[in-house]
Amino acid sequence: MSEFTYTVERAEAVTTVEEYLRCCVDVPRFLECCRQCPNYGTRWSCPPFDFDVSGLWRGYQTLHLYARYLVPGANRDGQALIDALQREKELFLTELLSFEQARPGSMALSCGSCHLCAECTRSAGLPCRHPEQVRPSIESLGGDVGETAVRYFGRPLLWVQDGIAPDYLTLVGGLLLREDRV
């Protein structure tokens, strides 16, 4: 089998938080999904949170959305693409945090749960080792990433099936801004 290669395509969109809440956020529905996940209550990036999720959304005016599409080359090894996705997720978080740092008062939204530490301290009741890097994801705040991908980027989420990589895998992150920038 040939060496696994991939390219990364980028896309961006901007919307108001009000519009995003109306079309893509259902906190009770996605909180129930989160409850089914083994990361629920065991990772600092995941619910339950010690803040009001709806109140957090309403504290911002604008949502800048970012998508990264990992497009495999000729080798369609699904596991290799998933491994690449994890590496790209870490790079993407670094990029999102740099956007946050450049915009005081903003808040980055990561992709999925945090994997900065092999074992999160939350289960032991200890503080996060990396609070400067941990951010909730769009889905952990009730956002429908599948709907977001279609509505704002025109591409549905695809999944590895039977070990075969799809045409692309998607990462979606965001930056919440207090000012109106749409």
Asked if residue 96 is part of any domain, the answer here is yes
Could you tell me if 53 and 1 are in contact, meaning their C-beta atoms sit under 8 angstroms apart?
A: no
180 pLDDT more than 80:
no
Count of structural domains, the chain: 1
Asked if residue 99 is part of any domain, the answer here is yes
Question: Which structural domain range is residue 68 located in?
Answer: 6-177
Asked if residue 182 is part of any domain, the answer here is no
Instruction: State the SS3 of the chain.
Output: CCCCCEEEEEEEEEEEHHHHHHHHECHHHHHHHHHCCCCCCCCCCCCCCCCCHHHHHHCCCEEEEEEEEEEECCCCEHHHHHHHHHHHHHHHHHHHHHHHHHCCCCEEEECCCCCCCCCCCHHHCCCCCCCCCCCCECHHHCECHHHHHHHHHCCCCCCCECCECCCCEEEEEEEEECCCCC
Q: What is the pLDDT of residues 145-173, one digit of tens each?
A: 999 999 999 999 999 999 999 999 999 99
Q: What is the pLDDT of residues 114-151, one digit of tens each?
A: 888 989 999 999 999 999 999 999 999 999 999 999 99
Task: Compute how many other C-beta atoms are within 10 angstroms of the C-beta atom of residue 182.
Answer: 13
Q: What is the pLDDT of residues 69-81, one digit of tens each?
A: 999 999 989 999 9
Asked if residue 134 is part of any domain, the answer here is yes
